[in-house]
Structure 1
């Protein structure tokens, strides 16, 4: 069977940038997100990023102003339409100023209007307020995929057609504990650092972590024994697990591990997870 047939589906990417940045996705690579969106050969029709802009702070803080300008310029270079909303300031009556820039309405209106020309929607957010929006899009026959990092609403996870943890997509989020130039091996190669979840544990002192080796049109195929599956499996001994992880609670899809891919004592052995840390839980 030929699995390389290009899809004729039309896809749109809508990023709640404020929510993503504040919930584990700071530094997310928007170019990689585009690559992930068209992994099956779909046509990318819409590509929107929604973020706030503090005009008062920009007037007082030149570094903030230049940083925001560079950030939005990069997004536009990647082909994103940038929708900015000015931060509003309120006096809470306690001699403190509260800032607010809620973009839920803008995202909802744009999605309801622009999704008419789409078959599939990727909504990058963890905000549970979008549950009803997801239902409305599905009622119109759209497939809705949600991508998020930390603090993703459980209702949103359950309502969408597919939830994907951004931590698990190769190269979408840089490793914060790695110096520039430290990643000499490509994600998924022996010696590289990757992220994954423990999908199997024997209860006898070891388990296995599944990780995505590469972005592929068969991202739904999690069977690591399938030659066309983009997923790999790494052996992990309980002694290698980070402090605070109770092996009796494994397997777990909610705990995301970061680790180095190392070879076993026998070249034919399954690769092993070394230097394991927790990325999210």
Structure 2
């Protein structure tokens, strides 16, 4: 398995909804995306940084999307869907997984910023392909199977001063 080394090519994929809800429900704070990206890259070569976000028609979201781009993230935006019964749904699981698999031949490491256990199978697949998988999320809201499927896990909750605003 690939170890961390200078010049290593890294892709950082951020499940913004997952991290937002964890940060809000546990800490009532927001994510410091700049610090998160810096820690994820760790003096390696950043190939792609993608933040997957949901447009929910809230007044401050466009400035949030712009701030992500200013930090260095490419933003992929999906509109929230409202169903006839009033329920709402929007997630990027499939899109993130497809991007990770597509990037696998171009990077040494994928840093997956999410606590969603649905990504455990993706991690196993990428590791089988020789890609190092690092997961960054809040330990208290991260699926055990995701942590176990990764090569490394950074518990953002252990460093609130670094990862939260």
Q: TM-score, length-normalised on structure 1?
A: 0.53
More helix by share: 2
Q: Is the aligned partner of 1:162 residue 2:165? A: no
Structure 1 or 2, whichever has the larger Rg, is: 1
Number of the residue aligned with 2:35: 32
Deviations 1:39-80 (A, max 9, x none): 2x21011100001112xxx3xxxxx23x00110000000110
Distance of 2:112 and 2:41 partners within structure 1: 14
Contact 1:10 1:118 in 2 (8 A): yes
CA drift at 1:168: 2.6
Distance of 2:40 and 2:149 partners within structure 1: 20
Q: 2:122 aligns with which of 133, 138, 146?
A: 133
- Once the two structures are superposed, the pairs formed by residues 1-281 of structure 1 within 5 Å of their partners are 7-24=6-23, 26-39=29-42, 41-54=43-56, 58=57, 64-65=58-59, 67-92=60-85, 97-149=86-138, 150-169=140-159, 170-174=161-165
Contact 1:37 1:44 in 2 (8 A): no
Contact 2:23 2:31 in 1 (8 A): no
Q: Mind listing any 5+ residue stretches in structure 2 that lack a counterpart?
A: none
More strand by share: 1
CA drift at 1:13: 0.6
Quote the RMSD (CA, aligned, Å): 1.4
Distance of 2:71 and 2:102 partners within structure 1: 23
Distance of 2:95 and 2:32 partners within structure 1: 23
CA drift at 1:24: 2.3
Distance of 2:157 and 2:62 partners within structure 1: 26
Contact 1:146 1:164 in 2 (8 A): yes
Q: Mind listing any 5+ residue stretches in structure 1 that lack a counterpart?
A: 1-5, 59-63, 175-281
Distance of 2:115 and 2:40 partners within structure 1: 18
Q: Give the aligned length.
A: 155
Larger RCO (CA within 8 A; separation ≥ 6): 2
SS of the residue corresponding to residue 18 of structure 1 reads helix
